[in-house]
Amino acid sequence: DAGVTQSPTHLIKTRGQQVTLRCSPKSGHDTVSWYQQALGQGPQFIFQYYEEEERQRGNFPDRFSGHQFPNYSSELNVNALLLGDSALYLCASSNRDRGGTGELFFGEGSRLTVL
Amino acid sequence: LAKTTQPISMDSYEGQEVNITCSHNNIATNDYITWYQQFPSQGPRFIIQGYKTKVTNEVASLFIPADRKSSTLSLPRVSLSDTAVYYCLVGPQTGANNLFFGTGTRLTVIP
């Protein structure tokens, strides 16, 4: 049973560029959430997708957008990259009916470096 | 979601019991207390969750007093592999994915 998988694991971009990160949820899960984790900080909630729609959003600008596909996988897109976007981007999956503080499964993340 | 306060860091020798306390004064009636563990360059991993009194699993115990304004994660006989950041979260058991992690407690286990 595959857990949450994310790609790529590492990538380097320059300021102003755009990036797309991908996530496949754990088998049986239908909800995907994205988190940004800066160095030395805890993860910060970006947004959540369920039934291919954004359901909740944290305090992130519109440069951060996402998508969920019919197979429940998801993408996180960040436009006009800033140096401050350098972070570990984590995807977490859950089942809608069970999603909550005890039912999130995280991937190992995509480490983005913006130069 | 209720905010939490935890010590920034703790050190412990191998084989000792470690207790990490979390304050959550604004916990709501339907909130649960959940602890996650995170190793460097990995995603957080669920450890334990509870609502009141005591919960124990194969990894840890969680102690919650009657007023629920704090909780204590207890790790028995820690080993070097328990070196990680531990996050205390407070929120509904179901229906909320916008978790507030805070900065967590960095536990360092010393040989």
Considering CB atoms only, which of B41, B44, B92 is closest to A100? B92
- In whole angstroms, give the CA distance from residue B71 to residue B74: 10
Nearest CA in chain B to A90: B43
- In whole angstroms, give the CA distance from residue B71 to residue B6: 10
- What is residue A100's three-state secondary structure? coil
Give the residue from A39, A60, A101 with the most B CB atoms within 10 Å of its CB, the best one to mutate.
A101
Per-residue model confidence as pLDDT tens for chain A (115 residues): 679 999 999 999 999 999 999 999 999 899 999 999 999 899 999 999 999 999 989 999 999 999 999 999 999 999 999 999 999 999 999 887 665 666 789 999 999 999 9
Q: Which residues of B touch A108 (CB under 8 A)?
A: 41-43
Whether the ω angle into residue A8 lies within 30 degrees of 0, i.e. cis, is yes
The per-residue pLDDT for range B9-28, each reduced to its tens digit, is 999 999 999 999 999 999 99
Considering CB atoms only, which of A42, A90, A108 is closest to B87? A42
B106: confidence class by pLDDT, cuts 50, 70, 90: very high
The per-residue pLDDT for range B26-81, each reduced to its tens digit, is 999 988 999 999 998 899 999 999 999 999 999 999 999 999 999 999 999 999 99
